[in-house]
Amino acid sequence: MKIRVPATSANIGPGFDSVGLAVTLYLEIDVIKESKEWYIEHDLKGVPNDATNLLISTALQIEPNLRPHYLKMTSSIPLARGLGSSSSVIVAGIELANQLGNLNLSIDEKLNLATKIEGHPDNVAPALLGNLVISQYCNERVQYIKTDFPETALLAYIPNYELKTSDSRQVLPQSLDYKEAVLASSTANVVVAALMSGNIVLAGKAIEQDQFHQPYRLKLVKEFNTVRDLSKASGAYGIYLSGAGPTLMILIEKSKVDQLKTKIEQLNLNGDLEILDIDKKGVQVV
């Protein structure tokens, strides 16, 4: 059995802790065989191989009586880069428990469990459901809408350094004054409406007007101004900080993405570039 979970790009401007998109990088878990003890084979530095691994601990949190298995983990999702690496593992762990324990969990049950573990649904919802998901977590229940993302190419600039979510949250303000909150909320409303109506041009503009987190976090990503200026000069619809960063996600017409990728590569920045598409399926079990 193989469990496959997509990466996610969350927040999407002012959609803070609420709006996320599944993209075509993947975590894959192969369930090899039963064993005396839990063991997970992988090549991720600093990540445990035993039952303390987040994948296994999540599964055992859902169903403590699972029989131990030998597993193999492979991932193209970079760690601590704002692409939902931990959320993908949580979703995979819940699905592992669901399959090995024959739990027959519903989508809503999986989503509520994942959100309770993660703390907010913006990454786990698209990882589970695929596509674009707008969600809210209130009274320990998730309300969500899954919809199509407008036609666009996604170009991710992924710096070669980590940015932990906890560190990225420390730069955020404790509060906004009333006028700032109204402006930030109205901008988020326009982003969601533009995305759901397929207006990528308006969505791109409004995404860059976020007041909730990007103005505070972008100082942690030294390449932002350089990448933004070149992207906008090349016709990008918009650029935003993916998750807590440091990945920058560029929205651009598909006919222009290869040329922009080449231009950014020529800057010789300390990072990688990935042309991504939208994953529309979410978690899959083979």
Q: Report in angstroms the alpha-carbon separations of 233 from 195, 250, 263.
A: 23, 12, 11
54 is in an annotated binding site: no
83 is in an annotated binding site: yes
86 is in an annotated binding site: yes
Q: Using an 8 Å Cβ cutoff, are 65 and 27 in contact? A: no
Q: How many CB atoms lie within 10 A of CB 286?
A: 8
CA neighbor of 25 nearest in space, from 278, 284, 245: 278
Q: Using an 8 Å Cβ cutoff, are 69 and 31 in contact? A: yes
Q: Using an 8 Å Cβ cutoff, are 223 and 157 in contact? A: yes
25 is in an annotated binding site: no
**Rounded distance between C-alpha atoms, residue 282 and residue 127, angstroms:** 5
87 is in an annotated binding site: yes
271 is in an annotated binding site: no
Q: Using an 8 Å Cβ cutoff, are 157 and 264 in contact? A: yes
Residue 214: DSSP 8-state: H
84 is in an annotated binding site: yes
246 is in an annotated binding site: no
184 is in an annotated binding site: no
Helix, strand, coil share (%) of the chain residues, nearest 5: 35, 25, 35
Binding annotation for ATP: 78-88
Binding annotation: 78-88
